[in-house]
A and B are shown apart, each in its own frame.
Chain A
């Protein structure tokens, strides 16, 4: 999706109304409602088991909600999931790569699944952007965790998605790789892509965000514009929220 096309997208990129997800008697999400504007970066914090990953899985059409409405780019996720998936890029702590394929083969494979026109020039461009052009024909098995994550970013960007979901993208990265990821995310932000970032890293998450939300026990307990959150006090604010259970 080009910058011009992104600017022409609906003002609200993601709209979630009363989202509930239950696994038997356990409720992972208990009525989440949320709006993310086009070009906005929303960072979601929360302790383990708060429902953050379940929330992203449902938005990515990997899991069906028990009830609730989700609309992405003005389209209902229930009815138009494959149209919406063409506009989504997902980066998680798992890379979704095949160890026994080379970097170029992995990208070519995913390019075919996403109907990327002229995939070879596109993958060469992306490999250069993530600094892996010299390792294009090496198997992913031989890559470090940081290199694999850079390749996973290239994989997620192959089809030029307008919306990015990032689930703990810093997991297992060394400082150098984490810095590269931050720079890359800043670049994506400047390109006015809509970003939903789930992280435990309060400083990184706050630095990236236009808005922050805190999940606890399947609910959003706090939501605020990043500009109104004092970075120096945020750690304390967050821990107080969790300790009080959002009350």
Chain B
């Protein structure tokens, strides 16, 4: 009984720390709008450039749209992932966090959660704009798109958070992050693009289940790996 109470108290304490870390990231971004504004600008520019390249409503546009969307999301996401970790390192605040009696895996979860929120925030207007420019058909429902974007973003942000912590300590950090990140992200990007294309083509949940299982499995496995290895990455 006492053991259970201790465990419950410990879980509550860890939860409070996690919420404090997330609150800090969200509040800083709410005030500066530095990450979201630069990511959003980049993603919108990508959509607008391709909108002028393709003929609106043509079959080529509809075929290319899922790929273009994920190019916009992932490249804009790299910008945000890099800046988010750089913020912590530049003023030494990462060291302040590492000095606290804090499970470093918790630090990973908080940073990854913040990154998921920021990337999701840019996905909404970018997708809205591409509906207009690419004349996308959403009659099959929003729910599939929401789930696909969420699973894809979780996988991308989780691995990206770990790799941004590695890249930020290298001399060529701006180049290093995409070089490290994209090869590992191939299963996520391929699954997300194919699942998005399927959802936009009106396919059913059963048709999409293969891609969704890959996305879900990747998310679970990599969140676990990143949670365990983050400690070693941030230490030196």
**Which A residues form the contact surface with B (CB < 8 A)?**
60-64, 82-83, 85-86, 88, 90, 92, 94-101, 105, 109-110, 112-115, 139, 155
Contacts and interface: CB of A to CB of B under 8 A. Distances in A.
Interface residues of B, number: 25
Given A64-B235, A82-B101, A85-B99, A98 B93 contact: yes
B156 to A, nearest CB: 26
B28 A90 contact: no
B60 interface: no
A63 B236 contact: yes
Given A63-B235, A100-B32, A101-B24, A113 B100 contact: yes
B6 interface: no
Contacts, number: 74
**Chain B interface secondary structure, helix, strand, loop or mixed?**
helix
A115 B103 CA distance: 13
Given A62-B235, A100-B32, A114-B101, A94 B95 contact: yes
Interface string B5-40: 000000001001100110110011001100000000
Nearest to B100: A113
30 contacts: A60-B99, A61-B98, A62-B235, A64-B235, A85-B100, A86-B101, A90-B99, A92-B92, A92-B95, A94-B91, A94-B95, A95-B92, A96-B92, A96-B95, A96-B96, A96-B99, A98-B28, A98-B91, A99-B91, A100-B27, A101-B27, A109-B20, A109-B23, A110-B100, A112-B16, A114-B101, A115-B16, A115-B17, A139-B31, A155-B96
Contacts of B23: 109
Contacts of B103: 82
A115 B13 contact: yes
Looking at A61, A62, A96, the one whose CB has the most chain B CB atoms below 10 A away is A96
B220 interface: no
A173 to B, nearest CB: 16
A35 to B, nearest CB: 23
B64 interface: no
B224 interface: no
